[in-house]
């Protein structure tokens, strides 16, 4: 979630950049649908899908860190971890399912915690519970990926696809809230 601070100029700047999360959200939705509909037979293709989703999320979180007032370090650390996970997926595409599942699992655990904490810190914002629900789903997917002994490509594709869809929807909601805010009262994305 994102809270616009008391500085009215900060809100106007964020409102002018509403198209950035919209673009990110649309790209993540497309990636999510592609991942879920693609017949993945290769770990290399899966690694590329995973790497792209991690890198997009990392940049999104680092951009968010430039405008939030609370827990900025949390978003920076999360963004850096997402970028590192993306690079690992690109550099080691032929690694075993176990390694990919652990990277995905831990990444989603961190993402879920970020969403839950952020939602609970912004309970005064309309729709705060959407981020909470998303965080709970991410936490569950992360625990499933990290704890599953019988890992398969289908499991990982499903988890990555659902993650991209959830993150894409979230980014689109953020974009339209920012566009509608015009620097007005405090708001937060789902």
pLDDT tens for the chain, 190 residues long, are 444 444 445 556 667 778 878 888 898 898 888 888 877 666 677 778 788 888 888 888 888 788 777 778 888 998 998 899 888 888 877 665 667 777 788 888 988 998 899 889 888 887 788 889 989 998 988 888 877 666 666 777 788 888 889 888 988 888 888 788 764 444 444 4
Handedness of CA 4, 5, 8, 10 (dihedral sign): negative
pLDDT of residue 116: 93
Contact yes or no for 75/58 (Cβ under 8 A)? no
Distance from the first to the final alpha carbon of the chain: 6
Burial of 1 (0-12, 13-18, 19+ CB in 10 A): buried
Q: If phi over 0 gives left and psi between -120 and 50 gives alpha, with beta otherwise, what is residue 20?
A: alpha
pLDDT of residue 136: 94
How far apart CA 86 and CA 49 sit, in angstroms, is 9
User: What pTM value is reported for the model?
Assistant: 0.65
| Helical H segments across 66-152, by residue range | 72-91, 97-121, 128-147
In degrees, to the nearest 5, what angle opens at C-alpha 136 toward C-alphas 149 and 130? 150
Token pair for residue 71? 């827990």
């Amino acid at each position: 979630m994102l809270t616009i601070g008391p500085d009215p100029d900060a809100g106007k700047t964020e409102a002018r950049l509403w198209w950035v999360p919209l673009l990110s959200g649309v790209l993540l939705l497309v990636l999510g649908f592609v991942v879920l509909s693609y017949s993945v037979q290769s770990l290399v293709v899966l690694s590329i899908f995973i790497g792209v989703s991690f890198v997009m999320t990392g940049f999104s979180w680092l951009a968010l860190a430039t405008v939030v007032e609370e827990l900025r370090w949390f978003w920076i650390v999360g963004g850096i971890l997402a970028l590192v996970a993306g690079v690992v997926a690109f550099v080691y595409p032929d690694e075993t399912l176990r390694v990919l599942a652990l990277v995905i699992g831990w990444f989603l655990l961190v993402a879920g915690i970020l969403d839950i904490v952020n939602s609970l810190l912004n309970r005064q914002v309309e729709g705060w519970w959407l981020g909470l629900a998303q965080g709970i789903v991410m936490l569950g997917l992360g625990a499933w990926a990290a704890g599953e002994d019988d890992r398969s490509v289908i499991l990982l594709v499903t988890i990555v696809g659902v993650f991209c869809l959830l993150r894409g929807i979230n980014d689109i909601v953020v974009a339209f809230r920012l566009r509608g805010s015009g620097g007005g009262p405090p708001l937060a994305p789902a």
